[in-house]
Amino acid sequence: MAEVLRPIGFDPAPANEEFMARCHAAVDIVQRDLDATGYGRYQMRACFGGGWPSSVHAALPDGSYWGGSEGMSREMEGSWLLVCAADSVSSMLKEIPEIEWPVCAVHGGHPGHIWHGEDPADLIKKVAWWRCTNTGHPLAPVGQLTAESARTL
């Protein structure tokens, strides 16, 4: 009977697991950049946000996350999922500890309010890149941030 009553669009558990595995993998790549720039104290993991369609956000170990960004959703794949994971991590740091990250080693962050800068992550030639929030130039591919490209803590 449960099969008959299952609403259209219901996602069976295996699809959720596969989706969450992709989100965890994407957040793990962003974590490398946090570690490389001295922000490794912020241990990010993927967690389900509320709402429908459900989205996944980067969260701190205590479960706090910022739901104001787009987050990661099921239809995203590959590099675009990684861009959204990067954006989710950056947005969360802005909102919860009020840190701008990553910050360009050359130009610094946006001179005004931290929320007014360029989008920190974007898809460039099908690759997820960090961008300078001050001028918008590419900093480094997501997962390859270094102390030369971004300011360290």
Q: Which stretch binds Zn ion (CB under 5 A): 7-15, 21-29, 62-70, 104-112?
A: 104-112
- Near Zn ion by CB under 5 A, which window of 50-58, 63-71, 99-107, 113-121? 99-107
Nearby residues of 12 by Cβ (< 8 Å), 6 or more positions away: none
Cβ atoms of residues 143 and 112 within 8 Å: no
Of residues 106-125, those binding Zn ion (CB under 5 A): 106-107
- Of 15 and 153, which has the nearer Cβ to Zn ion? 153
- Smallest gap from residue 134 Cβ to Zn ion (A): 5
According to DSSP, the residues that pair with 138 across neighbouring strands are: 131
Is residue 51 within 8 Å of residue 107, measured between CB atoms?
A: no
Both tokens of 118, joined, read 């360029």
Residue type, 82: L
Q: 83, 132, 142, 145: which one contacts Zn ion (CB under 5 A)?
A: 132
105 counts as binding Zn ion under rule CB under 5 A: no
Cα–Cα distance for residue pair 48/42, rounded to 1 Å: 18
Identify which range of 25-33, 80-88, 121-129, 132-140 contacts Zn ion by CB under 5 A.
132-140
Min dist. Cβ of residue 120 to Zn ion (A): 11
* Residues facing 47 on adjacent strands: 57
- Give me the residues that bind Zn ion (CB under 5 A), please: 104, 106-107, 132, 135
